[in-house]
Structure 1
Amino acid sequence: MAPVSHAADRVQSLDVYLNACKIGTIVRTPGDFNAFSLDPAYRATGGTPVLSLSLRAATGGLRRDPRPLAGALPAFFANLLPEEKLREAMEKHHAASVRPGNDFDLLAALGADLPGAVRVVPTEGARAVASAQAPQPPRLRFSLAGVQMKLSVMKNTGKGGGLTLPLEDGQGQYIAKFPSLTFPGVAENEYANLALAAALGMDVPARELVDKADFEGIPEEFDTLSDGKVLLVKRFDRGQGGRRRHIEDFAQVFGLYPSRKYDGAAYHDIAAALTMAVSPAAALDFVRRLALCAVTGNGDMHLKNWSLIYPEGDGPPALSPIYDMLSTVPYLPADGMALTLGGERSFKALTPSRWKAFANRARLPEPAVLAAVAATAARVNAEWWHLPERAAIPAAVLARIDRHITLMLPILAECGAG
């Protein structure tokens, strides 16, 4: 059988599925406009299963279909695609079918293996059959949101073990985050910070550090040229037998494009949304994670680094397990919080008055927020200094993290005073 091509000039219609449920269709019209419409059967359900909270109308039910967009996808789908260097590498990998900067082309190439349970596949009859004159080699067809060089990978269970990349219809069960020439020790940094979060009782996926030599067949365009350790994290949106769990990040929840992930909303907006969509307890769990970011110096927890995860059946979503939890201050000494917290971003400015302002804007009780912040700081002080995973972090990076934690502990501890 001839291989299936996702040629940019041939695929004009993509069907959107949430697991087996058809949600709608994205059509590319003349002039490179992209129109997304909900399937009538899905609209008749009122939006079950939930694709995105952004589709819900304030009056109940589902919003009207959005207007066609020139050269862009609706924000929900744009947020499923990689960004910056990772996107450039994937576009180069699919150069025969993906034009640089074209979201529709890239979604057509990667849509069968997106984050969560969403699948976007060519509409029946819209697939193009490649000519026999130049068969294309197997390609990586997964998408991971974000900018860091990372790949969806599989563990080999046979003799010899090792890690391989899923080609064509294969599905990865782990995310491999590769070392960086620009940010030394970034994998070890995140590994230790995830271990700290787990020690604090937070929901953290399984993770391990592996050698780059453990991987087979990394295409040249994805090679970071650094020989440091690789962080391997179990995908919480994948289960046994390739079962997929639906997730959406808060850029998707708020209907914002990736370019707005640092300024499209504030932390109190996320907390308020969690209270409404999940529970006040979930919002306080979020507060504890925010306090951890402040004390460790994590300045990259933008809208796309917080997500909801949905149950397989009906029921409200939950705050997803933690991901992308690392200290950024060793690499960006003047860094601050990715979003505003009580009107501030500077770590040193996160005094009790800022947390009170955050609580009021999020409509959370001040005493509960302050207690959560102070308790998190105390737990970090009790766990960090003897955490075994500290030993994996390069000395210079660890020293910078330690200085920041030493600075922040008394500032956050003030939240428990009086």
Structure 2
Amino acid sequence: MMITMKQNSRAPNAITSLDVYLNSLKVGVIVRTPGDFSAFSLNESYRQTGGHPVLSLSLRAASGGLRKDPKPVSKTVPAFFANLLPEDKLREAMEKHHAEAVRPGNDFDLLAALGADLPGAIRVVPSEGSLAVQPVREEGKGKARFSLAGVQMKLSVMKNTGKGGGLTLPLDDNDGQYIAKFPSTAFPGVSENEFANLALAEAISMEVPERELVEKSDFAGIPEDFDTMSDGKVLLIRRFDRDEGHSRIHIEDMAQVFGIYPARKYDGAAYHDIASALNVAISPSAALEFVRRLTLAVITGNGDMHLKNWSLIYRGDGNTPALSPVYDLLSTVPYIPADGMALSLGGERSFKALTADRWKAFAHRARMPEPAVLRAVTDTVALVNENWWQLPERAHVPDRVLDRIDAHIKTLTPILTSCANS
């Protein structure tokens, strides 16, 4: 079944109703009411399926069925949909790009403008088939309509085929198959930093998306709204929510699972809450894999693993969640020396305070077996030290950044290894 749209169009700020699709299946509708309230309701036909394929675990009631439709929210859209939108600089750029139709800070307007290319398998399109377009467009030029959650300047891009190749933004209804993360003047070497950390994760047998470092000159047709003044490499990552045939694979991040707005991604829950959810929704082994990834964040000094940097993926029939591949792996301590964990781990955030007692507290709160948690920590630390020091991708990282990562790993290794003696 294909989603078809009539030829008539309206600007996003004039649209009052959005149909929500999970791939080709219509699952619900978001209605904007006078006074700028938004209400989301599930289709009765979707309710009768019991919620299959899964839109979000946040819709599940304790009894296993679906919750009642949430109450209307003011001046925003429901949390699940708010978490699909870009933040900070990327949001500012996208609002500027759609300035004729999207009012600054208006989530519904932005969702209407970008809903055709959201993370995962979600499509949000104006009801009655009216296509959300700009009332004024430059002759011969389309608009970028993708949305990527997060604050870094990153773009959904596609590889051009044929003579010349290169990379460009998907415009209008085209889908991007890659995420391009651009260099930053504030954080030198950030692309190379993440490139090396992803390589380390792969070396210790974690599921990692394909990636490469490319030049800014490899890109063509990037609208100036999205250009950055920074020089340096661009990190190109294969999207794991798009398959080789360009079909969409559904994902949701933990902020969506918990029904928490992006503004609370650093304090809306703790790491044991994520582990507990994975234990119940997937399996104990998934929860232990989370512990391994959490340990990697600690030992490499990654202080930005907030709720939106952990996701579930729904492959196959879309009914069974699994941990998504790892993403947004980089060391933040070279840029923020006093950084700590994004969320609380056993009641602590300071890296140096994450001794065996903190991991035991984490295990207790997550209702996980303490010996298995401590063993996952120490095994991961050993694997990091076996692989990091001779990792080929280290050569790409600027010396100043690399020195600080190295120093952090050396400092944290004995602290984390103490878990073996507890």
Q: TM-score, normalised by structure 1?
A: 0.97
Alpha-carbon deviation of 1:414?
A: 1.0
Three-state SS of the structure 2 residue aligned to 1:241 is coil
What residue number does 1:18 align with? 22
Distance 1:132-1:284 versus aligned 2 partners, 3 A rule: closer
**Number of equivalences:** 418
What residue number does 2:216 align with? 212
CA distance in 2, matches of 1:210, 1:60: 46
Letter of the structure 2 residue corresponding to residue 304 of structure 1: K
Native 8 Å contact 1:3 1:135 kept in 2: no
Alpha-carbon deviation of 1:59?
A: 2.5
Letter of the structure 2 residue corresponding to residue 330 of structure 1: P
CA distance in 1, matches of 2:58, 2:15: 27
Letter of the structure 1 residue corresponding to residue 58 of structure 2: S
1:71-86 → structure 2 map (5 Å cutoff): 71-86=75-90
Q: Is 2:237 the partner of 1:221?
A: no
Q: Is 2:148 the partner of 1:144?
A: yes
CA distance in 2, matches of 1:277, 1:316: 9
CA distance in 2, matches of 1:55, 1:132: 38
Native 8 Å contact 1:6 1:97 kept in 2: no
What residue number does 2:198 align with? 194
Alpha-carbon deviation of 1:227?
A: 1.3
Alpha-carbon deviation of 1:240?
A: 2.1
CA distance in 2, matches of 1:375, 1:332: 27
Distance 1:191-1:134 versus aligned 2 partners, 3 A rule: closer
Q: Is 2:86 the partner of 1:121?
A: no
- Which structure 1 residue ranges, 5 or more long, are not aligned? none
CA distance in 1, matches of 2:86, 2:134: 26
Alpha-carbon deviation of 1:12?
A: 1.2
Alpha-carbon deviation of 1:128?
A: 6.7
Alpha-carbon deviation of 1:6?
A: 4.6
| Equivalent of residue 414 in structure 2, options 407, 410, 413 | 410
Q: Is 2:95 the partner of 1:91?
A: yes
Distance 1:125-1:210 versus aligned 2 partners, 3 A rule: closer
Q: C-alpha deviations, 1:89-108, integer Å up to 9, x for none?
A: 00000001100000000000
1:267-346 → structure 2 map (5 Å cutoff): 267-313=271-317, 315-346=319-350
| Equivalent of residue 379 in structure 1, options 376, 380, 383 | 383
CA distance in 1, matches of 2:132, 2:392: 53
Native 8 Å contact 1:295 1:404 kept in 2: yes
What residue number does 1:153 align with? 157
What residue number does 1:164 align with? 168
Task: Choose 30-39 or 107-116, whichever is displaced more.
Answer: 30-39
CA distance in 2, matches of 1:242, 1:375: 37
- Which structure 2 residue ranges, 5 or more long, are not aligned? none
Alpha-carbon deviation of 1:315?
A: 4.2
| Equivalent of residue 259 in structure 1, options 258, 263, 278 | 263
Identity of aligned residues (%): 72
| Equivalent of residue 34 in structure 2, options 30, 42, 59 | 30
Native 8 Å contact 2:27 2:43 kept in 1: yes
Distance 1:102-1:131 versus aligned 2 partners, 3 A rule: closer
Alpha-carbon deviation of 1:158?
A: 1.2
Distance 1:369-1:125 versus aligned 2 partners, 3 A rule: closer
CA distance in 2, matches of 1:133, 1:208: 34
CA distance in 2, matches of 1:113, 1:363: 38
What residue number does 1:55 align with? 59
Three-state SS of the structure 1 residue aligned to 2:40 is strand
Letter of the structure 2 residue corresponding to residue 79 of structure 1: N
What residue number does 1:359 align with? 363
What residue number does 1:66 align with? 70
Alpha-carbon deviation of 1:60?
A: 2.8
Q: C-alpha deviations, 1:379-404, integer Å up to 9, x for none?
A: 11111011000010011011111110
Native 8 Å contact 1:4 1:130 kept in 2: no
Alpha-carbon deviation of 1:9?
A: 3.7
Q: C-alpha deviations, 1:173-229, integer Å up to 9, x for none?
A: 000000000000000000000000000000000000000000001111211201110
Alpha-carbon deviation of 1:236?
A: 0.3
1:130-141 → structure 2 map (5 Å cutoff): 137-141=141-145
Native 8 Å contact 1:32 1:70 kept in 2: yes
What residue number does 2:112 align with? 108
Letter of the structure 1 residue corresponding to residue 381 of structure 2: A
Segments of 4+ moved more than 2 angstroms: 1-6, 125-137
Three-state SS of the structure 2 residue aligned to 1:403 is helix
CA distance in 2, matches of 1:4, 1:90: 23
RMSD: 1.8
Three-state SS of the structure 2 residue aligned to 1:190 is helix
Q: C-alpha deviations, 1:107-130, integer Å up to 9, x for none?
A: 000001000000000111544787
1:379-398 → structure 2 map (5 Å cutoff): 379-398=383-402
Alpha-carbon deviation of 1:316?
A: 2.1
CA distance in 1, matches of 2:184, 2:266: 22
Q: C-alpha deviations, 1:323-352, integer Å up to 9, x for none?
A: 000000001000001000000000000100
Q: TM-score, normalised by structure 2?
A: 0.96
